[in-house]
Structure 1
Amino acid sequence: MHTGMASLTQHASTFRRVHSRSQGLLKSGKLSQLQRSAFPSIHINQSCICCTKLTPWESSPVTYAPTDNQSDTFLPQNANIFETLESSKTADSSITNAEGVVETESQPGLQLQVFKWPLWLLGPSVLLATGMVPTLWLPISSIFLGPNIASLLSLIGLDCIFNLGATLFLLMADACSRPKSPTQDCKSKAPFSYQFWNIVATLTGFVIPLLMMFGSQKGFLQPQLPFIPFAVLLGPYLLLLSVQFLTEMLTWHWQSPVWLVTPVIYESYRVLQLMRGLKLGVELSAPAWVMHTIRGLVCWWVLILGLQLMRVAWFAGLAARARKQQLSSDTSSVNGD
């Protein structure tokens, strides 16, 4: 028993000595020296190879680093990059389709423009044939048989021929004033001041003959003028003045570009119509106050016609200034870009 205990004690003391010796070798670095002596070390020289010139078959590196100005516009932010690419393709295709539609729509406009060219000569020819030729070359004696209903209807029919030609002329002028492209809007609204003074001139042309007839029927104007001679002298005048007023109202309502030339056409013929009334007044032996009234109406409508022509010149200058301002603004915008 004692012998076994002694052997265990001897083994424990031997383990302590070995353990303490190994710790001392680790601390003193002798173990590492032993390892280096037991296993020779192999030294590997690692050198860095720097090459700045690429071989011919290698492609240069591509950098996608955007600049400061392009950092936000390289690709629009989206949840999915494929949606972004698809939207850009859709936008390009829509632009292409829009250009194709514009080209296809402009071709019919050009075809219609070709048909408008003869109207520039046909319209004035119709106006001349229906307005001036019957009044200037048709003898009054062939249509005027005296102060009766037949003469009144003949004179009204002559003025209706002019009204038909004036309507055709206005339709042709409206067609020529339309833009080449049918998609462009062409509406021209007459100013309120223009409409007001036109209505005043028309009402004045109505009121003067009506007051003259009323004064003759009541006996204020002597000698009296019967109704039939008065209708022969001024009946067609009042009827055509009503037609002019209706035509002007329609052009204002439809905002047609011919609203500016409508009174010029009718007032030019009205001067000839009143001059015809002066000739008929001589044949009817009309009173002096009737002849003076007709002469006053001629002067009135010549004055209104001159004002209308000045308005045409004013609107032409206004359109030229607006076109010049638009061209200057377009040029400045192009230079600014």
Structure 2
Amino acid sequence: MASQGMVSLCVMTPRVPLKNPKKRLCHHRVLCSKLSQWEPSTLTQSSTEEAGGLVLEKTKNVFESIVSESEEEENVVSTQLFKWPIWILGPSVLLTTGMAPTLWLPLSSVYIGSKVVSVLSLIGLDCIFNLGATLFLLMADSCARAKDTSQPCESQPPFSYKFWNVFALLTGFLVPMILLLGSKTGLLGSLQPEVPFLSVAVLLFPYFILLAVQTLTEILTWSWQSPVWLVTPVVYEAYRVLQLMRGLKLSAEVNAPVWVVHMIRGLVSWWVLIVGMCNS
């Protein structure tokens, strides 16, 4: 019966002559491609083990994917719960540090004593607003970032936006500077009488500082590709309108000439126009 399970393919090796002719042996080499029916197949066992390993690996990968998806969902939920208070805290900080002192603080408490003290007090109010605006922009940036932190956030403003924004900043800086220098040097004879330096500092020095801070913030948001580049000019330009309105109230305290009052009114109209164009 054992011979029935063998393969018919057998190769006979030639007889090897020995020194003793009486003791001749025939060495046969049998090559079989099929084993007997009672001998286990190693190929089948290996394939079964490999299949079992693949099943275990697939099961493990599915389990890991389910665990990773559940972890991602938990992270998203925790991130959303963390962002909800920021949506309330950010605008509250901005209004508290910016709008409240400017709208409800009486100017008589700011304009006390010499003009130098008044300038420092106004700059201090603007510094408080700058701190609040910085905190607000940082909170808005963290909320506007993508949920998947592994992907880089690339939010680049278009060239037309950059061009008009820079044009608005340069116009708001150069026009009052040219008028003031023209009145000092006598190039613009119609701009008389001349305004003292301290009076100009009370009216416009905080305005120039805020322009510089906004320009620096805009450059940083563009270079960092922060998604808050669209909110930044609205925050600073809205406060700038209030700042210039404060300057109009202080113009009577410093006895500013009429052309200075008209210049400040022109700046208010310019920045109101720019704020309207940004929101449209």
Name the TM-score, length of structure 1 as normaliser.
0.63
Counterpart check, 1:122 vs 2:122: no
User: What are the superposed Cα offsets for residues 267-313 of structure 1, whole Å, 9 maximum, x if unpaired?
Assistant: 11100100011111122111111111111100000000001001xxx
How much identity, in percent, do the aligned residues show?
58
CA distance in 2, matches of 1:83, 1:214: 90
Partner of residue 136 from structure 1, selected from 103, 108, 130: 103
Q: Greater shift after overlay, 181-190 or 115-124? A: 181-190
Q: 1:284 aligns with which of 243, 254, 261?
A: 254
Residue correspondence of structure 1 range 209-228 to structure 2 within 5 A? 209-219=176-186, 220=188, 221-228=191-198
Q: Secondary structure at the match of 2:229?
A: helix
Instruction: Tell me which residue corresponds to 1:244.
Output: 214
Counterpart of 1:108 (choices 75, 79, 88) is: 75
User: What code does the residue aligned with 2:249 have?
Assistant: K
Distance 2:248 2:265 in 1: 8
Q: Which residue of 2 aligns with 1:297?
A: 267
Matched, 1:173 2:130: no
Structure 2 CA distance for partners of 1:84 and 1:248, relative to 1, 3 Å: farther
Alpha carbons of structure 1 residues 208 and 97: separation in structure 2 relative to 1, 3 Å: same
Q: Cα–Cα, structure 1 residues 259 and 83, in superposed 2: closer, same or farther, change >3 Å?
A: farther
- The root-mean-square deviation of aligned C-alpha atoms, in Å, is 2.2
> What does 1:143-158 align with in structure 2 at a 5 Å threshold?
143-145=110-112, 148-158=115-125
> 139-148 or 221-230, which moves further after superposition?
139-148
How has the CA–CA distance of structure 1 residues 290 and 84 changed in structure 2, closer, same or farther, with 3 Å as cutoff? farther
Amino acid at match of 1:294: I
The equivalent residue for 2:129 is 162
Q: Contact 1:248–1:259 (CA<8 Å) still a contact in 2?
A: yes
Name the stretch that deviates more: 244-253 or 231-240: 244-253
* Equivalent residue, structure 1, for 2:202: 232
| Deviation, structure 1 residue 184 | 4.7
How does 1:47-62 map onto structure 2 within 5 Å?
Answer: none
Higher helix fraction (1 or 2) = 1
CA separation of 1:84 and 1:214: change in aligned 2, threshold 3 A: farther
| Unaligned runs of at least 5 residues, structure 2 | 1-45
- CA drift at 1:181: 4.1
Task: Give 1:208 deviation, angstroms.
Answer: 1.1
**Aligned residue in 2 for 1:326:** none
Look up the equivalent residue of 1:259 and give its one-letter code: W
Q: Structure 1 runs of 4+ off > 3 angstroms?
A: 80-96, 179-186
Retained in 2: the 8 A contact 1:188–1:256?
A: yes
Q: 2: CA distance between counterparts of 1:255 and 1:101?
A: 29
Where structure 1 has 5 or more consecutive residues not aligned to the other structure, the ranges are 1-79, 311-337
The structure whose Rg is larger is: 1
What is the Cα deviation at residue 255 of structure 1?
Answer: 1.4
Q: CA deviation at 1:130?
A: 0.8
- Deviation (angstroms), 1:172: 1.5
8 Å contact kept, 1:126–1:169: yes
Which TM-score applies when normalising by structure 2?
A: 0.76
Output the CA distance in 2 between the equivalents of 1:306 and 1:146: 38
CA distance in 1, matches of 2:73, 2:154: 20
